[in-house]
Amino acid sequence: MLGGYTITVSITIGIYIILAISLNIITGYAGQISLGHAAFWGIGAYCSALLATRFGVPFWIGLPMTIAITAMIGSLLAIPCLRVREDFLAITTIGINFVVQAVFLYVPFFGGAMGIGGIVSPFSTSSFFWATLIFVLLCIALDRWLVRSWMGLALESLREDETAAAISGVDVVKFKVAAFAIGSGLAGLAGHLYAHFMTFISADDFGFPQSIVILSMIVFGGIGTLRGAILGAVILGVAPEIFRPVLDYRTLIYGGLLIFMMRFQPGGILGDQSLLPRIFRVVRQRGLAPVKSGG
């Protein structure tokens, strides 16, 4: 049905979509700028790889374990983040990314510079694609449930005005930790898939540049919206493949695109205030409004 190349790219994009959805919960909904999301992805991938290679844990048992452990570490790492706000927070998360990567690289238990190899994928490539698709759909469902729940409202109130939220009785600490726990748990899922798909991981895969790519995805698509996170992940995930013919200029195009978007559509392609959704809303309203004749 699909070619091997298409399937491989699709699985990568699926993993990116899960990462974008997970970061969108922390940064988009709860408003906590994180520039170190790849760290949580990496923690998930390393956890999954260690479980699989050292302890022989099978894929489906390793899955909930990885998610739980990553969510736990994520909420632990959220503790230093609770002390700081806004720009201090953004830089603290960069710091977490570098420290986590350094631990992977320099602690022999994590395989050092050689990384961890020999992870066995339980599926063929095409079944892996369907599994990834199911996980993406589950993440979307979780995201929808979260937004409609009381917690979604609480996170939004944190984003809009933390002090006002605290005065209104929202437990700021609890919900911030919860956002980090859910976001990093989903990043752990992405790491689990990534480790089993690549069958080899190393610390370089989870560096600060990767964090920027994930953040760019949600900002590019429209931060704080599910559709934006998905679209951003698809566009920035496909872009390296599309621009393969102009390999030498690929990164320049990417940088230029970021500047251009922020300058002219700062809400992202599908953000609530952006051009496309506004046109769409107008068209829909016109369509639904009763047509006056002879007026």
Which residue in this structure is represented by tokens 């070619």? Answer: 3
**Rg for the chain, CA atoms, rounded:** 20
Neighbouring-strand partners of residue 116: 201
Residues near other proteins (CB under 8 A), total: 40
Categorise residue 294: left if φ over 0, alpha if ψ from -120 to 50, beta otherwise: left
Separation CA 233–CA 21 (nearest Å): 9
By the rule CB under 8 A, 208 interacts with other proteins: yes
Torsion angle in degrees (nearest 10) through CA of 33, 38, 39, 41: 120
By the rule CB under 8 A, 251 interacts with other proteins: yes
By the rule CB under 8 A, 254 interacts with other proteins: yes
By the rule CB under 8 A, 258 interacts with other proteins: yes
Q: Which is nearer to other proteins, 2 or 102 (CB)?
A: 102
Six token digits for residue 245: 């013919």
Q: Which is nearer to other proteins, 23 or 154 (CB)?
A: 23
Tell me which residues in 43-102 interact with other proteins (CB under 8 A): 80, 83-88, 90-92, 94-96, 98-99, 101-102
How far, CA to CA in Å, does 30 sit from each of 42, 248, 258?
Answer: 22, 38, 23
* Residue 229 and residue 20 in contact, taking contact as beta carbons nearer than 8 Å: yes
By the rule CB under 8 A, 164 interacts with other proteins: no
* Residue 166 and residue 64 in contact, taking contact as beta carbons nearer than 8 Å: no
- Binding other proteins by CB under 8 A: which of 266, 275, 280, 283? 266
Six token digits for residue 75: 């909420």
Q: Which is nearer to other proteins, 14 or 232 (CB)?
A: 232
Q: Of the ranges 1-9, 14-22, 173-181, 257-265, which one interacts with other proteins (CB under 8 A)?
A: 257-265
- The residues binding other proteins (CB under 8 A) are 27, 33, 80, 83-88, 90-92, 94-96, 98-99, 101-102, 105-106, 208, 212, 215-216, 219, 223, 248-249, 251-252, 254-259, 262-263, 266
